[in-house]
Amino acid sequence: MLNWIKKRKISVIFLFLEGLSGFLYWRFIGCSSGTCPITSNWYASTLYGMLLGWLTGDLVASFRKGKTEA
């Protein structure tokens, strides 16, 4: 498991940072009426942030990998 985390270090860092960002967005901005599907619940906002963080981290890691191989 640790080897997998070491390979995906950038993606895991982005995962936690964006998950925290999603939670903080819900906490301080959010949707007070409850009609917003993502920002009305803390867990939906956090999970959406984590998904975007994983995708962004994977994209950044692939660019860094391509840059070092060239």
pLDDT at 18 over 80: yes
The rounded mean pLDDT for the chain is 86
Looking at residue 68, what is its pLDDT?
Answer: 61
For 19, other C-beta atoms within 10 Å of its C-beta total: 20
pLDDT category, 16, cuts 50, 70, 90?
Answer: very high
pLDDT in tens, 40-70: 888 999 999 999 999 999 999 888 877 665 4
Higher pLDDT, 53 or 8: 53
For 23, other C-beta atoms within 10 Å of its C-beta total: 17
The answer to whether 47 touches 22, Cβ cutoff 8 Å, is yes
As given in the structure block, the two tokens for residue 5 are 């985390």
Q: What is the mean pLDDT of residues 1-21?
A: 86
